[in-house]
Chain A
Amino acid sequence: MELKNKKVFITGATGFIGGRIAERLWIDHGIKSKCLVRNFSRAARLGRLPVEMVPGDLLNRSSIEKAVQDCDVIFHCAYGNTDSLAINRHINEQGTKYLAEIALRNRTKRFLYLSSVAVYGPHPAEKITEETPTQFSNDEYGNSKIRTERICRDFHMKGLPVVVIRPTAVFGPFSPIWTIGAIQRVLVGGWERVQGVDGICNAVYVDDLVDSLLLSIKLDKAIGETFIISGLDTLTWNDFFAEYSKISGMPKPQSISETRRVLKSHLSSILRTGVHAARKFADPLIMDFYHRMKDAYPSLTRTFDSLIRGGIKKNEIEKFSWRTIYSIDKARRILGYSPRTFAEGMRITAKWLRHHQYT
């Protein structure tokens, strides 16, 4: 199916990936999407585009019903991100059911669900393909993605043309975790080369992910399929963070032993507790003092920030040690998916970071 003149509805368009989909649809295809907006406080990026903002959330059936009725394509990127797991689960599952029901009734031509490789659980095998069984675990985000995928598949059985995309670690402009979070981490010395921790980072540039979604619309053979979407290069988390250190002008992350990491981690934990307690009693005074010090002695406050932040935490060691590789063979074969190199993605990301004064 060609995208030209198609009407598109996006959930999660105020977020990182949904926002990029809306941008690409407008810039590359001249499509003014309809975008579900739950919180207008987050809509500044989306507001640059000539999109139609539909107020409401996934559980607001009437607003979705009205917005979706003439749409050919639905990108479903929204997910519950409240503090309550129960509410998130309800938003993800009930909301997806509503959306899929309405889409089925309206004979929507493509329903693209943005899932995640989190469906494979926290102890993935060394090589993962779409055939690898998904795994429930204590990660509620991954569990919810598994359940929502199942809802999508049920609707596919009823006739909804569903495609499920499972991206890996998505980086690029506006990526809250793997770009903004990563640069902020390296800027306060939050990454170090811990001996024995050298896991594989399956990073994918955001536009490669969007390419895979657009290819899934173009090619009818994608209907009913699930695709893992990762980047071209096999690199480690150490390589990944070293690149952010490079573009931020920071020294290369230091090598430290596990014993030293543990000591640092304890020290930062004690400092953090102390600072939190002090701020409870005298916050304005402490922040005033901090701002003045930051102006007068920037390197000293950076060292202090680094001590507070600490390096890699205990609960991150396992995640950053996995040697898992997520295969993109199926996406290459069926979609003709052809991601750019990590270096190219980082080149553009570095420009964005500079423009937004992160570096």
Chain B
Amino acid sequence: MLRKHYTQNNDHIRFGIVGCGAITKIAYLPFFKTSTMAKLTCLVDKDESVISAYNEHSNLRYVGTNVDDMFEYVDAVIVATPNYQHFPIAKTCLENGKHVLCEKPLAITSQECKQLISIAKKNQTKLTVAHVRRFYQAAKKTKNLIYSEHFGPIKSFEFEEGTIFNWPANSGFYFDKKLAGGGVLIDIGVHVLDLLLWWFGTRLRKVDYIDDNLGGVEAVAEINIQLSNNIEGSIKLSRLSILKNRYNISFENGWIEWNPLFPKYFYIYDYRKKTKKTIKMSNDLPVIDMVEDFIFSIKHDRKPLVSGKDGLQVIELIEKCYQVRKPLPLEWLKKN
């Protein structure tokens, strides 16, 4: 039996992080500085120059370049490497009986996702994906409003998310299809599609997809989706310009809207009362909530909010989009 049972609340889960890039610095290291439920014991990065900066943190049990060397000191691993390394690293961790929180996307192909799910199941380890948007208060409120049918059945949806790409990327992996798995669709799109599937279920009837990829990876993508109950909607994503940045869902008796980049305010329009309401959401701490959800799932042996299967469904939808892809008609890019 590889699984360890955590019966006492004061048991610390020992964590290792693989990949010491921007997301680790911005999101995960601050979490472990304050967490009372988990302890960071290992840091791994294949780049020695990156990892050498952490050598001074002598309270860690292992700081180095070899994933295998950390296993004796950890119960769970956060995989925060470039996309193409998610699968091999998560696989090794799961095979060694470690619980895995994998940065999004879970892997870059559905085959790889399925393998990870199967290994996690076999070894009775938890597998979750950093679909962090689910932990926004606004995302949860949206789900509740859909399921309570407060405004009646859904009529349509319109999601737009785009900012000018400025992620502090150290390498060009984001722009290499083999390494990243795609462009804006597998980057921001993972979050948007995960919410779509979480809110509406997976009853897809038809997907149309266009993007501006010219032989590299797409920076602008547009998806039209038809769900089996005749709900239609569109998704626009961009790395090149600031879009309206809104998730809008129309119901029979009203609409709701919020800005994914500024999810503090939640707007509701009720057709029956003819009123628009702005609800101020409580402060979001999505990364803390996500890692704590993962820790609870380990301690109490329950399903994390985002399962490996959720990660798989998003990748399957992305693969579907790429299969039906048509080029975005852009006059300024035409042959001169």
A: residues with CB less than 8 A from B are 23-24, 26-28, 32, 37, 40-51, 53, 55, 172-174, 207, 211, 288, 291-292, 295, 348-349, 351-352, 355-358
Interface range, B side: 35 or more
Chain B min CB distance to A330 (Å)? 22
27 sampled A-B residue pairs with Cβ under 8 A: A24-B336, A27-B335, A40-B172, A40-B174, A40-B175, A44-B175, A44-B184, A45-B240, A46-B175, A47-B175, A47-B183, A47-B217, A48-B183, A48-B215, A48-B216, A49-B216, A50-B215, A53-B175, A288-B264, A291-B262, A292-B265, A292-B278, A295-B267, A348-B331, A356-B240, A357-B243, A358-B241
Contact of A27 among B170, B218, B334 (CB under 8 A): B334
Chain B min CB distance to A177 (Å)? 15
Do A40 and B170 have beta carbons less than 8 Å apart?
yes
* Chain B residue at smallest Cβ distance from A347: B331
Chain A min CB distance to B81 (Å)? 16
B145 at interface, CB cutoff 8 A: no
| Bound CA span A49–B175, Å | 9
| Bound CA span A292–B334, Å | 40
Chain A min CB distance to B177 (Å)? 9
Do A48 and B243 have beta carbons less than 8 Å apart?
no
Chain B residues with CB under 8 Å of A288's CB are: 264
Report the 9 A-B pairs with minimum CB-CB distance, sorted nearest first. Answer: A47-B175, A50-B215, A44-B165, A356-B241, A44-B239, A40-B169, A53-B172, A173-B332, A41-B166
| Bound CA span A84–B187, Å | 34
Chain A min CB distance to B66 (Å)? 25
| Bound CA span A264–B10, Å | 64
Chain B residues with CB under 8 Å of A41's CB are: 165-169
Known contacts A40-B172, A48-B219; A357/B212 CB under 8 A: no
Do A23 and B333 have beta carbons less than 8 Å apart?
yes
B330 at interface, CB cutoff 8 A: yes
B: residues with CB less than 8 A from A are 162, 164-172, 174-175, 183-184, 212-219, 238-244, 262, 264-265, 267, 278, 330-336
Do A28 and B335 have beta carbons less than 8 Å apart?
yes
Chain A residues with CB under 8 Å of B165's CB are: 41-44
Do B244 and A357 have beta carbons less than 8 Å apart?
yes
Chain B residues with CB under 8 Å of A172's CB are: 332
Contact of A43 among B172, B214, B242 (CB under 8 A): B172
Chain A min CB distance to B210 (Å)? 12
| Bound CA span A41–B164, Å | 9
Do A44 and B240 have beta carbons less than 8 Å apart?
yes
Chain B residues with CB under 8 Å of A50's CB are: 214-216
Chain B residues with CB under 8 Å of A28's CB are: 335-336
| Bound CA span A291–B262, Å | 10
Known contacts A211-B336, A291-B265; A48/B241 CB under 8 A: no
* Chain B residue at smallest Cβ distance from A47: B175
Contact of A48 among B172, B212, B242, B334 (CB under 8 A): B212
Chain B residues with CB under 8 Å of A47's CB are: 172, 174-175, 183, 216-217, 219
